[in-house]
Amino acid sequence: MGEGLKSALRTAGFILFFAVVLAAIFWDPNKHEWPKDGKTHIRYWYIVAAEDQIPYTVKRFNESQDSIVVHATPIPWQEHEKKILTAVLSGDPPDVVSQFVPVVRWASRMALRPIDDLIQDTGFDMSVFFPALVDEVRWSGRTFALPANTASYAFFYNKKLLAEAGLNPDRPPQTWNEVREYSKAITRYDDQGRMLVAGFLPPFSGAHTGVLGNLSIAALQAWELGAKFLSDDGKTVNMDSPEVLRAVQWTKDYYKDYDFGTVQAFIGGLGTGEQQGFLTGKIAMMVLDMSFLDLIRRYRPDLDYGVVATPSFSGYPTASMAGSWWLGIPRGAAHPRAAWDYMRFATRADIQLEELAARDDDLFPANRLAATDSSFLVSPEMEVFVHQMEFAHSPTVVPLAHGVFWREFYGALERSVYGQEAPEAAFAQAETQVQESLDRSSEYDEYVRAHMDFTSE
């Protein structure tokens, strides 16, 4: 073991020691004393932003039986990670947590209890969830959580802008080459050469997140072409494969159709929320998630648009991306079986459908039976989003180097599009950086698991 890793482990040990000491000093064991009523009382911590309402599933679960009581506690977004990890280190964690960051980020820290024994003991069927979401909650051969909700992506297009360009508004592009041709026909400029309307703008920088959508078109295309960014054993990164390079080259070639300075000036003037480019009619075609249906209803109910499967290269299937809000049991939880009973209840198809009906925001159920129910498929657009989930990939591409992967991917893509490096060199460099990060994390992970009981509760 290298000296650098030994030093890092010693530092981590000191941090862990002081965290436990501080938690022991400030933790108040009396704040969750329950009545002696013969029932099992469990704690559920969930993330909140503005609203502080008891989750619908908690209310329904407590009403549905009389042996377990779930006590829900909202955790502010800014504090959720610190509070949960401190509780785990103190030996007094909640029984259930709700999160949407990659499961491996918690599992690799030994902060979550594997739930495979609970799945087996109760005969729970994980196939009720979409495949990408099952991948999202598994790590190192074990299952650590249940998917609760997700987001699905599809191709939005503005029918009016297509018609104004002389294109058939009822025949959106089906391949990426058609997207490129449609975009050239749609894009308009003023008399000074400034871009007024863009057909399609594939993001080429992490700074474009939100402005040009929330996923990488280049990564999406690479998945369509069959790219595998990580070997089956999870040890080898592959970011400069022919599939990845073909996708990157498409974005690079795409921007050759336009003056790059003009494009950058146009992107700089775009906004988010109600000022997002598709909503304002400045961009005709975008890959967006289903939450944009609600934004359109709220801010542009008059918008004439359509939603179809994401385009693909000729002869290849479509692809999408889907992460997950999930429910997990922290390591050391006092009542794992009662927590599991709540988790199973909250992810049932009928309960997920009830929750959707009771809320005024858009949720996409992780349970396939809920997502394919007629009460959820209320429009042709929703049918498209459900269809796309069958082709979805988890955004947790390299679990032990998740943040590094996306930083390096976008960095290499940006250098390629700007012409600072050839795509082959840029992505070979990115691969080296991600591989080094994965190797360090894997070495640390193997050391931790060799010195701790990874299989225990």
pLDDT per residue as tens digits for the range 207-249: 787 788 888 999 999 999 999 999 998 899 999 999 999 999 9
Using 50, 70 and 90 to split pLDDT, how confident is the model at 19?
very low
Q: Which residue has the higher pLDDT, 44 or 204?
A: 44
End-to-end alpha carbon distance in the chain:
28
Residue-level pLDDT at 44: 96
Using 50, 70 and 90 to split pLDDT, how confident is the model at 5?
very low
Using 50, 70 and 90 to split pLDDT, how confident is the model at 358?
confident
- Any idea which of 321-335, 354-368, 404-418 has the lowest mean pLDDT? 354-368
Picking from 130, 86, 97, the residue whose alpha carbon sits closest to that of residue 336 is 97
Does the structure show a pLDDT above 90 at 63? yes
Using 50, 70 and 90 to split pLDDT, how confident is the model at 26?
very low
Residue-level pLDDT at 35: 81
Using 50, 70 and 90 to split pLDDT, how confident is the model at 53?
confident
What does R_g of the chain's alpha carbons equal in angstroms? Answer: 24
Task: Tell me what percent of the residues of the chain surpass a pLDDT of 90.
Answer: 70
Both structure tokens of 105: 């980020």
- The sign one gets for the Cα dihedral 393, 106, 229, 288 is positive
| Beta-strand pair 285-289/145-150 | unpaired
Looking up tokens 């390079």 gives 245
C-alpha 325/C-alpha 392 separation (Å) is 15
Beta bridge partners of 365: 149
- Any idea which of 41-45, 85-89, 341-345, 452-456 has the lowest mean pLDDT? 452-456
Q: Which domains does the chain have, with CATH numbers?
A: 37-151+323-388 (3.40.190.10), 153-321+400-440 (3.40.190.10)
Map residue 275 onto helix, strand or coil: helix
- Any idea which of 44-53, 67-76, 151-160, 370-379 has the lowest mean pLDDT? 44-53
Residue-level pLDDT at 42: 97
Residue-level pLDDT at 455: 52
C-alpha 336/C-alpha 339 separation (Å) is 5
Residue-level pLDDT at 88: 87
- Any idea which of 63-77, 251-265, 292-306, 357-371 has the lowest mean pLDDT? 357-371
Instruction: Tell me phi and psi for residue 320, to 5 degrees.
Output: -150, 180
- Helix 423-451 vs helix 242-254: angle between axes, to the nearest 10 degrees? 130
Under a CB-based contact definition with an 8 Å cutoff, are residues 220 and 287 in contact? yes
Compute the half-sphere exposure of residue 417: CA atoms within 13 Å on the CB side of its CA: 27
Using 50, 70 and 90 to split pLDDT, how confident is the model at 457?
low
Does the structure show a pLDDT above 50 at 251? yes
Picking from 409, 416, 425, the residue whose alpha carbon sits closest to that of residue 209 is 409
Exposed, middle or buried by CB within 10 Å (0-12, 13-18, 19+), for 360?
Answer: exposed
Residue-level pLDDT at 452: 61
C-alpha 148/C-alpha 98 separation (Å) is 9
Q: Which residue has the higher pLDDT, 256 or 81?
A: 256
